[in-house]
Structure 1
Amino acid sequence: MAIVDVRILVEGASDVEVVSKALQGLALGSEYNITISAIIPTTNVEIAKSAAAGADLLIIATDADRVGRDLAERLYGELSEMVGHVERMKLPLGHDLEHVDVELVKKELKNTLVRAGLKSLQVLPEYMALRNQLLDLKGRYDGLAEEYRRLKEEHENLIQTNEELRAENERLREENESLKALLENSRNVYRIDEAWKSLFPAEPVPDEAYIGRAVEKLGLAGKVIVGQGYIFAEDRNLVDELLRTVYLSLSIAEEPEPPRPEQPTSEVEEDLEVIESTEVKPEDLENLLKGQ
């Protein structure tokens, strides 16, 4: 249990001595769970404000005469909003340290503490109601905080989803533009097999990759596009020219090479050498001409 901070405000230094004397022998900590943290001798409101600010209980101990009562009322009006609770304590008239009845002051001090406690009990139902209201507000706050966290997470997810949808929409828009352009030029798209058979009905359709390489070799990239079984070109004549070139290339590649002349064998070469080295006589040549 927390200790209650009690401060006592008196009119002058002599009152400090009287109250201090009365406090001797009081077991306030064990009986009331309180501590007297300060005895403040002043009638100045600003000094009193500075010294009493933050106290749990402020006791204004003034004389029981009219002057003391007026001072207590003025201080109460100025200080009641700065402390937890303010209680009035009356000091006996004509008191001084030599003639004061310390037991009377002690009794008044204890009565003041009891009154303060009873007044606190009077506000206990209101305190409990405020406490329950505070707990209810805290529960609502925690619920709203959790709802805020959930909504924030959902908002972040929606932002991410929106960005993904925006990117997908841009991709579809570009794809749509490409499709529109393709539809607008659909008359310039030709099937490879149909275009080939229209030119070479008896020949097998060449591989699409081979036609694509021909486009690159002939420098037709950008003018002719080959893919997915189709040829795109600005002019059908360009398609026909390309396919004729491919046909010619394939025809050349399929023609067999002419046979190479056989080299004379070593035996023939020896005979030739023999003939070349034989001496022809005139009479033999004459007989050959006569048919002998």
Structure 2
Amino acid sequence: MVDVRIILTNLDYLEFLSKAVSNFDLSNFNVNISSIIPTKDIEIAKNTVIGADLVLIAAQNNAENHKLYQDFKKSLKNEFNYIEYLKLPSLDELNGYEYGDYDENIIEDEIANSIIRGGLYSISNLSSINISKRQYHELKKDFEDESLKYDKITKENELLVKESKAIREKNEKLSEEVKILQRQLDQIKSDFSDLKSRFEGIHSKNSLEVYSLNDLWYDLFGEYLSQDVYKFILISTDNFRPKNLMIGQGAICAESKEDALDWLKII
């Protein structure tokens, strides 16, 4: 239902306007005149027309009232309503007029004309409204598409962050392993340098003979070499480092078998 409200700027017209409205039925057109507000105060009018679809400013048709209409329109117009001028006839025209005496009801006709003008104005704005609706739906679709793209990019970014973190942790772990291997390599280099020095010292003297450590041990003690004893021999030999004698890989290197046996006896 289209809600129509009338702002009446002159109380002298109240009786005429009330009779015209009471006899004016537009319910078949889904239009209803819900109230007449007698006031010239724009602030009062603002509060009383809230929610109206069409506001008619009822005033006599002259320059002064036309300016008053423009002031009302400027203050009351918003994107949800329409403001129209309901042009009242002069009081002289209505003097001695009894409602219903005339075939033509002047005020009813002007109310109808004002409502029709408001309807035509709304129709003329349908095109721009439809354009705005299309633009709104296009913008909404663009927004939804961009939102989907944003969500996709956000998920991909989160995945990349996780992968980056995993790679960083793996690199840190590999870095630690490299440090450990480097220390081990440094130790091997040191041991190799020491071993090389020992071999060079031995090589500069007489050549060494290689004997089976297990066989010599059996010759001395009548039993074969156990793993624990073998480790003990290796450690002891490494600590004391006897001259011209080496042990490794299950063998003992010495200038003679007697030197090898003597060392095993000492251990």
TM bracket (short chain): 0.5 to 0.7
Match of 2:238 in 1: 237
| Distance change (3 Å), C-alpha of 1:107 and 1:172 | same
Q: Which has the larger radius of gyration?
A: 1
| Distance change (3 Å), C-alpha of 1:201 and 1:67 | same
Deviation at 1:119, TM superposition (A): 1.5
- The one of 153, 168, 171 equivalent to 2:170 is 168
Question: Aligned runs of 1:135-284 on 2, under 5 Å?
Answer: 135-187=137-189, 200=213, 202=215, 237-238=238-239
Question: Aligned runs of 1:42-53 on 2, under 5 Å?
Answer: 42-53=39-50
Cα contact 2:21–2:33 (8 A) shared by 1: no
Match of 1:117 in 2: 119
**Residue type of the partner of 1:169?**
N
Match of 2:53 in 1: 56
Match of 1:5 in 2: 3
Distance 1:53 1:140 in 2: 34
| Distance change (3 Å), C-alpha of 1:182 and 1:96 | farther
5+ unaligned residues in a row in structure 1: which ranges? 191-196, 216-230, 245-292
**Residue deviations 1:47-92, cap 9 Å, x none?**
2222224432221111223332221122122222465221111112
**Residue deviations 1:134-154, cap 9 Å, x none?**
111111011111111111212
Is residue 2:16 matched to residue 1:18?
A: yes
5+ unaligned residues in a row in structure 2: which ranges? 193-209, 218-223, 242-246, 249-267
Deviation at 1:37, TM superposition (A): 3.5
Cα contact 1:8–1:40 (8 A) shared by 2: yes
Deviation at 1:180, TM superposition (A): 1.4
In the superposition, the TM-score normalised over structure 2's length comes to: 0.65
Match of 2:87 in 1: 90
The CA RMSD over aligned residues, in Å, is: 4.0
Match of 1:254 in 2: none
Distance 2:11 2:97 in 1: 16
- Identify the range of structure 1 (46-55 vs 111-120) with the bigger mean alpha-carbon deviation: 46-55
| Distance change (3 Å), C-alpha of 1:61 and 1:167 | same
Percent of aligned pairs with the same residue? 26
- The one of 55, 72, 77 equivalent to 1:75 is 72
Cα contact 2:214–2:225 (8 A) shared by 1: no
**Residue type of the partner of 1:86?**
I
Distance 1:58 1:164 in 2: 69
Deviation at 1:14, TM superposition (A): 5.0
Cα contact 2:19–2:99 (8 A) shared by 1: no
Deviation at 1:19, TM superposition (A): 3.0
In the superposition, the TM-score normalised over structure 1's length comes to: 0.60
SS in 2 for 1:99: coil
**Residue deviations 1:233-274, cap 9 Å, x none?**
9x981599xx99xxxxxxxxxxxxxxxxxxxxxxxxxxxxxx
Aligned residues: 215
